[in-house]
Amino acid sequence: MMQPMAHRLWKYSSLLLVMLFTLLPFLWLLSTTIKPVEQIFASVPVWWPSKITFSHYQWAFSPQGIELGQLLFNSLLVCGITAVLTGIIACMSGYALARYQVPGIRLVFVLLVLAQMIQGPLIMIPWYKFAAAASLLNTKTILVMIYGTMTVPVAAWIMSGFFKTIPLELEEAAVIDGASKFTTLYRVIIPLALPGLVAISLYAFILGWNDYQYSLILTNSLSAKTVQVGIAEVMESMGQTNWGGILASGVIVILPIIVIFAVIQRFLIEGMTAGSVKG
């Protein structure tokens, strides 16, 4: 009895230490955002401020600061559209790659992998020229297009693997019951592949949310650029830097990712069991 209890105590203590080590920088960041300016640069650091202030958060949303509200809207819109389109396209193409054996299918898989190797600075100039020729410079549309070319290939490849793990007999049973191909896919196959679908959508969202280089090169106005560029511009600006406001902006930018993770956990668990039991 004592040995299992000691083992559990050691296990949970180790997990607690790892969590504290991982969360320590974020806790320090959060603490710094509510400190007065003089305590941020105090020679003796303090965890908890003597006087709590929310002026740094007000500065982040004000016209004198980063105007974070508009930047957040831009990023959420671009990344949300990218995630939805990636999920839809990867679901359809991944199912086709998993279920249909056509000539050249292996070449398609090779091209999907190679597409991930040709990114970043290698295609920056072609993308810029394309955006200029299509009058898409300084628009959210060009960012959605670029992020889609980065996420769809790997997402389709991942989804094809998920669909291959689903027994073909489930589809055959649905067809015998009179379901169409689309109904079978929507009501039987996709619920079973929901963990993969959620994962690739989250991957697409985070990839777009963390992007800096494409947004920097292709957007320049408040109506189109994303939060990463907005924060970087304030950090690189001349004059006194408002570090409290920048750190507060960092906290706000992290929140959407935390919320998304908290929401999708339920869908991941449901997707592992949904669709396999016939009511």
Tokens describing residue 209: 């949310």
CB neighbour list of residue 245: distance below 8 Å, 6 or more residues apart: 56, 57, 59, 60, 65, 66, 234
Residue 270 confidence (pLDDT): 54
Residue 145 confidence (pLDDT): 94
- 220 occurs within a structural domain: yes
- 52 occurs within a structural domain: no
- 125 occurs within a structural domain: yes
Domain coverage including residue 262: 68-273
**Exposure b/e, 149-166, CB count within 10 A at least 16 = b:** ebbbbbbbbbbbebbeeb
**Whether 245 contacts 64, CB under 8 Å:** no
Helices (H), 33-139: 37-40, 55-61, 68-99, 105-115, 124-133
| pLDDT < 50 positions in the chain | 1, 238, 271-279
Domains in the chain: how many in total?
1
Residue 108 confidence (pLDDT): 77
Helices (H), 33-67: 37-40, 55-61
Residue 278 confidence (pLDDT): 40
Give ∠ CA 32-33-34 in degrees, rounded to 5. 90
- 89 occurs within a structural domain: yes
- 90 occurs within a structural domain: yes
**Exposure b/e, 231-253, CB count within 10 A at least 16 = b:** beebeeeeeeebebbbbbbbbbb
Q: At 212, which CATH number?
A: 1.10.3720.10
Eight-state DSSP code of residue 135: T
How many C-beta neighbours within 10 Å does residue 51 have? Answer: 9
Tokens describing residue 36: 């007065």
Residue 275 confidence (pLDDT): 40
Residue 71 confidence (pLDDT): 93
Instruction: State how far the Cα of 139 lies from the Cα of 77, in Å rounded to an integer.
Output: 12
- 156 occurs within a structural domain: yes
User: Is pTM, for the whole model, over 0.85?
Assistant: no
**Whether 74 contacts 253, CB under 8 Å:** no
CB neighbour list of residue 260: distance below 8 Å, 6 or more residues apart: 202, 205
**Exposure b/e, 93-122, CB count within 10 A at least 16 = b:** bbbbbbeeeeeeeeebeeebeebeeeeeee
Please give the single-letter amino acid code of residue 177: D
Instruction: State how far the Cα of 216 lies from the Cα of 220, in Å rounded to an integer.
Output: 7
- 7 occurs within a structural domain: no
Half-sphere exposure of 243 (CA within 13 A, CB side): 10
